[in-house]
Amino acid sequence: MIGIFDSGIGGLTVVRSLMKQLPDYDIIYFGDTARTPYGSKSPETVVGYALENTQFLLKQGAKIVVMACNTASSVASDSVAENFDIPIFEVISPASVKAVKSSRNLIVGIIGTRATVKSGIYEKKIRAMKPEAKVYSVACPLLVPLVEEGWLKKPETVMIIKKYLHPLKVSQIDTLILGCTHYPLLIDKIQRKIGKRVTVIDSSIALAENVKDFLDTHPEVDNLLGKKGEFKLFVSDVTEQFEKTAEATLKRKVLLEHIKL
Amino acid sequence: MIGIFDSGIGGLTVVRSLMKQLPDYDIIYFGDTARTPYGSKSPETVVGYALENTQFLLKQGAKIVVMACNTASSVASDSVAENFDIPIFEVISPASVKAVKSSRNLIVGIIGTRATVKSGIYEKKIRAMKPEAKVYSVACPLLVPLVEEGWLKKPETVMIIKKYLHPLKVSQIDTLILGCTHYPLLIDKIQRKIGKRVTVIDSSIALAENVKDFLDTHPEVDNLLGKKGEFKLFVSDVTEQFEKTAEATLKRKVLLEHIKL
């Protein structure tokens, strides 16, 4: 199975993208809803959570693990890769590669959680490829709760997006990375506020493409993965709200299985 | 020592009130910042957290425990009281008593987290005293992240407050309980939007008064408590943002000690 984890249910945007790219592959998802959100917590705490989540997915039979959470990818992907001997995918590199390819003037904007922005990881990845690139980051900590509340179209949400994007507009970015798996649910509003001329990179799509490319070129790993279109969804806490948002993201009925880590 | 816990640092409004009511008393505070927030999580999960937090405070020498969190008080106060043999204080009863006393027409509004509102605990407490009371509750899940971001005076925050309070205004409440320890930091905006004629009850002040009344009438417990004005602040996760908000709430420098539960 392909194992995927996220701090909550935002990572289901990655599942949605994976189901498009690899429709028959068996997927097991773990959303750490009992400890969500990660984006405002310290790197040490998030590393501990990421190791526990990966361990859980391996026990459930995952043969590759996808970190569908920008915060965890930012601060914990090295630790996870060191501790487990299977292919680990993180969301930062694929989005960075895509941004560099698409950018004309190499002025790139990033929006993400406080932890992701503070890690500086997108800047590092992009500058490693293009040292001359200018990268501007803005932490948007209120967008996750707004998405989780389902306030996707409210005027307050649009005002807050406008406020967050203002410095990036002033910096004349031509490419914007959505550095949090919750943000694709706001992509229309974000595109409208940043302007039509800016290419918006959905990190969840970039990650799914990256996984597909890897499996296409690594049949020895691909052969380990089941392809019966099975989907299992585990969460560390169950609430009605999580269920609703999960169904809205995947556009199908879901059954949340509760587990305690 | 007086032990206090909260899901994060919102409960420091209770510390602030306690320091006013009982200036010399030694206080130990635990903010569960690694698992914050509680308000969107299930009752079972919050009960587990509340028991662990209480255990920690007892180990540190607490002789009474104050649950400075409306969500934990709503769903976990019975379990905590059953499992530990010391005086336990919760925030719901004192605020309910105060609301009933202050209300003229017995039409009372409550704002709180989703978990607090869903528990129906304020309605139960108020109707147990005044069966004829009309109680209207509104969940305001975005106010906690707005407070934690320090967006106390932004126009977006004011718009969101107005939207949340609208149904309570229509119901012609004359008393409004701030059923979350984060909300006192927004009391000016809330008072302006609900109107001058509505009495706003700060649950953190009601709780602190309740603790003081109890100690005044129970010298055998009061004698167990240190009175050197000591204050210890433990958190399960340390970030700059938590430190900033803690200092803004208490209006003094604080040192966050990190512990792992």
What does A156-213 look like in DSSP terms, one character per residue?
A: HHHHHHHHHHHHHHHTT-SEEEEESTTGGGGHHHHHHHH-TTSEEEEHHHHHHHHHHH
Written as one string, the DSSP assignment of A11-35 is THHHHHHHHHHSTT--EEEEE-TTT
Residue identified by tokens 């105060």 is: B98
Position A254 scores a pLDDT of 86
pLDDT at position A116, please? 94
* A43 close contact with B: CB closer than 8 A: no
Interchain contact B219–A (C-beta under 8 A): no
For chain A, give the percent of residues with pLDDT over 90.
88
Backbone angles phi, psi at A63, to 5 degrees: -105, -20
pLDDT at B111: 98
Catalytic residue chosen out of the listed positions A64, A69, A208, A246: A69
Compare CB distances from A159 to B40, B156, B241 and report the shortest one's residue: B156
Chain B residue with minimal CA distance to A140?
Answer: B149
Q: Is A180 a catalytic residue?
A: yes
Provide the β-strand partners of residue B107.
B134
Q: Is the pLDDT of residue A9 over 90?
A: no
> Which is more confident, B93 or A245?
B93
How far are the Cα atoms of A87, B75, B243 from residue A74, in angstroms, in the given order? 17, 35, 22
Q: What is the DSSP letter of B256?
A: P
The residue among A11, A40, A36 whose CA lies nearest residue A141 is A40
Bond preceding residue B141 cis, omega within 30 of 0: no
CB distance B145 to A145 below 8 Å: yes
Q: What is the pLDDT of residue B255?
A: 87
CA distance B61 to chain A (A): 26
Which pLDDT does position B28 carry in this prediction? 97
**pLDDT per position in chain B (261 positions), as tens?**
999 999 988 899 999 999 999 999 999 999 999 999 999 899 999 999 999 999 999 999 999 999 999 999 999 999 999 999 999 999 999 999 999 999 999 999 999 999 999 999 999 999 999 999 999 999 999 999 998 888 999 999 999 999 999 999 999 999 999 999 999 999 999 999 999 999 999 999 999 999 999 999 999 999 999 999 999 999 999 988 788 888 888 988 888 899 988
- pLDDT band, residue A62 (cuts 50/70/90): very high
Query: Helix (H) and strand (E) counts for chain B?
Result: 12, 10
**pTM score of the predicted model:** 0.91
Report the residue from B41, B142, B241 with minimal CB separation from A34.
B41
Per-residue burial over B96-129, b if 16 or more Cβ lie within 10 Å, else e, is: bbbbbeebeebbbbbbbbbbbbbbebbbebbbee
- What is the rounded distance in angstroms from the CA atom of residue B172 to the CA atom of residue B255? 44
Residue A176 has pLDDT above 90, yes or no: yes
pLDDT reported for residue B260: 87
Inspect the interface and report whether the beta carbons of B142 and A148 lie closer than 8 Å: no
Per the prediction, chain A carries an average pLDDT of 95
Q: A159 CB near a chain B CB, below 8 Å?
A: yes
Helix (H, G, I), strand (E, B) or coil at B152: coil
What stretch of H or E contains B222?
Answer: helix B219-222
What integer pLDDT is reported at residue A159 of this predicted model?
A: 97
pLDDT of residue B19: 95
- DSSP H helices in B130-202: 143-148, 155-170, 187-194
Taking 90 as the threshold, does the pLDDT of residue A154 lie above it? yes
Please give the DSSP secondary-structure letter assigned to residue B230: -
Out of B45, B151, B160, closest to residue A34 by CB = B45
The string of pLDDT tens digits covering residues A73-100 is: 999 999 999 999 999 999 999 999 999 9
Tell me the average pLDDT across A105-130.
Answer: 96
pLDDT of residue B252: 86
Residue B250: other Cβ atoms inside 10 A: 18
Q: Is the pLDDT of residue A17 over 90?
A: yes
Nearest Cα to Cα of residue A74 among A44, A41, A116: A116
The two tokens of residue A105 are 């003037």
| pLDDT score, position B59 | 97
Q: Which residues of B are catalytic?
A: 69, 180
d(CA B177, CA B92): 10
**B51 touching chain A per CB within 8 A:** no
Between A8 and A194, residue with greater pLDDT? A194
The tokens describing B29, both together, are 């505070």
Residue keyed to tokens 């500086």 = A120
CA dihedral B122, B128, B131, B133 (to 10 degrees): -30
Choose, from A62, A99, A160, A180, the residue flagged as catalytic.
A180
φ/ψ of B235, rounded to 5, equals: -135, 155
Enter the ipTM. 0.86
**β strands within B47-133, DSSP E:** 64-67, 88-89, 107-112
Question: Which domains, from first to last, does chain A contain?
Answer: 2-90+205-258 (3.40.50.1860), 92-203 (3.40.50.1860)
**Nearest Cα residue to A239 out of A79, A17, A53, A8:** A8
Q: Residue B136: beta bridge partners?
A: B109
Distance from CA of A237 to the nearest CA of B (A): 6
Please give the pLDDT value at position A59. 97
pLDDT value at A148 more than 90: no
Taking an 8 Å cut-off on Cβ atoms, the answer to whether B159 and A155 are in contact is yes
B177: closest CA among B82, B96, B251, B80? B96
Task: Take residue A204 and report the two structure tokens written for it.
Answer: 């969840």
A70-83 and A121-129 helices cross at what angle (nearest 10)? 70
Residue B26, C-beta contacts closer than 8 angstroms, at least 6 positions apart: B1, B2, B225, B226, B227, B228, B229, B230, B231
Q: State the nearest Cα–Cα gap between A223 and chain B, in angstroms.
A: 38
pLDDT > 90? residue A43: yes
What gap in Å lies between CA B49 and CA A120, rounded to an integer?
33
Closest CA to A29 of A63, A59, A68, A84: A68
Size of interface A-B (CB pairs under 8 A): 57
| Set of chain B residues whose Cβ sits within 8 Å of the Cβ of A148 | 40
* Angstrom distance (rounded) from CA A208 to CA B224: 60
